[in-house]
Amino acid sequence: MNNGKPLQGKVAIITGASRGIGFAVAHRLGTLGAKVGLCAREAGKLKSAADELRPAAAGVFSAAVDVRNGDQIVAFVQNTEKALGPVEILVNNAGIGYFGPTHEATETNWDSVLDTNLKAVFLASKAVAAGMIERKSGHIINIASLAGKNAFAGGGIYCASKWGLLGLTECMAEDLRAYGIRVSAVCPGSVATDFSPHGKKDISKMLQAEDIALVVEMILSQAPQSFISEVLLRPTQKP
């Protein structure tokens, strides 16, 4: 009996959790009984998010972290485990975008996007993997994008980061599945958050952050003998 709390006692880390998809995922996992460790770069927004989550979650720990920095990631994982317990779930959500012609982009644009969207996933996953391997259990869920499968003008750097993320996800899944660790990717289309400009799109027809949170819940609800490797998520109507 889990009393409607199937994640009771589980500890989940969510990166980029101060708003948008990351906050929605943290809230959903908290209502399912999980204790949540939150990180983001902006300390003020992160504190507000953590305060809002405390009534819903079994426990909350938060810290301002630059996910591009390996030392900060390792310290965050260690401090989360001291505060809440061993990490069973990692949701790599932190991400940024650069949208414009690739030939006009700077090296800084490239480094910022690739380090946040791809390198950070490697760093965070590596930081939790040893404990998961020892316990022979765990979930790593990477929030990717349909941009990891579809090219579009102005999307070169962002698409490169998400194509790379899907390749990393599939290889990590093969590396870790023998230890009972399941690695999955969620690939949403356009989501109604402030992540990127939406132009003339009808926001009411776009995916909502909560839609992605429900997919994360679905992935985590799989029986031990199976895992969902990838989910493509689109709105019912084109916005």
Q: Which residues are catalytic?
A: 158
Give backbone dihedrals phi and psi of 214, rounded to 5 degrees, phi first: -65, -35
Distance CA 77, CA 81 (A): 6
Instruction: Give CB contacts under 8 A, 24+ apart, made by 57-60.
Output: 57/26, 57/27, 57/29, 57/30, 57/31, 58/5, 58/8, 58/9, 58/30, 58/33, 58/34, 59/11, 59/35, 59/83, 59/84, 60/30, 60/35, 60/36
Q: Which two tokens stand for residue 97?
A: 């975008």
Q: 13 near 89, Cβ under 8 Å? A: yes
Distances (CA, A) of 71 to 76, 168, 176, 182, 221: 9, 21, 23, 25, 32
Please report how many Cα atoms fall inside a 13 Å half-sphere around the Cα of residue 11, on the Cβ side: 20
Q: 41 near 66, Cβ under 8 Å? A: yes
